[in-house]
Structures are given as C-alpha cells and as structure tokens.
Amino acid sequence: MATPLEVYRRFQRYLLAGNFTSLPEVVDVEAYTENCVGLTGWTTGFNTALKNFQQGIASVLTDMKMTEQDVLEGQDTLVIRSRIEATHSGPFLGVPPTGRRVAYDALDMFRVREGRIVWRFLLCDWLGVLRQIQPTQ
C-alpha cells in the first residue's frame, strides 16, 4: 500500500499535468471532501472539487510550479507546506489578468484511506497573490 506522501505526489503530478483521467487511482471520487479556504468552502465529491480547481485556479494561475518545503506524514494523514509559482493569466479575485509571475505559500492537509485521498484542507496565501497582481498606486 502506498504511503500518504506517495499518494499525494502522484495526485499532484496528475493534477498539474492535466492528467485528470488518472486521478481516481489516488482519489476516492465519491467520498472526497475538501475545503479550499477563501475560495470554495467545503466541497463534497471530487468531480465538483476538480471543476472548482479548473475554473477558479488552473485557468487563471497557469504554468504552476510547486516546491515542497516541509512534509509531516502520519499513518493516514499528510501535511505539506509548499511554495507555488504561477502566471496570472485570467481574472482572479476581481483583478484582470496581468501576465505577472506570482509566488505564494500553501499549506495542504490530506487524509488517505486505502491508498486514496478522501479529505483535503488547503490554505493558500490568497492575500499575498492579490498584493502581487493588484495595480500599483
């Protein structure tokens, strides 16, 4: 059985590559629940969460690169602090696309059951992103 970290890394690899058809290998599509704090609130069902990601994040913060900073792994849980870089390519938090490269921190928490993610709680520094994309006064 894969460790939570191995499951997470496959999840991120599939997600960032746009390989959505492989995600059910590492996500319990029916039991999945997540909260992307500040953007979606609690979401039940992976297909809804994926649609939210595609519309709210992936289509407006493109060419995303993620670097793991800290990893805490338990038997069925995982906490990752990452640094994310992306290009502001679409309207985000009311700001039209700027084309600017932005960087922000994220804290991602997962619960894994039987080798698949069932729960996710994601905290991102959306205020930091907003400060980087807002027009200067």
Q: What is the torsional sign of CA 136, 88, 107, 80?
A: negative
- Specify the higher pLDDT residue, 104 or 58: 104
Classified by CATH at the fold level, domain 4-133 comes out as Nuclear Transport Factor 2; Chain: A, (3.10.450)
CA distance 17 to 14: 5
Q: Across residues 120-132, what is the average pLDDT? A: 95
Identify the band that residue 137 occupies on the pLDDT scale cut at 50, 70 and 90.
low
Q: How do residues 41-54 score in pLDDT, each as one tens digit?
A: 889 999 999 898 88
Own/partner pairs, 23-26, CB within 8 angstroms, 24+ separation: 23/50, 24/116, 25/116, 26/115, 26/116, 26/117
- Predicted TM-score (pTM) of the model is 0.86
Helix, strand, or coil (residue 48): helix
No. of helices (H) and no. of strands (E), the chain: 3, 6
Q: Across residues 113-121, what is the average pLDDT? A: 96
Q: Across residues 5-21, what is the average pLDDT? A: 92
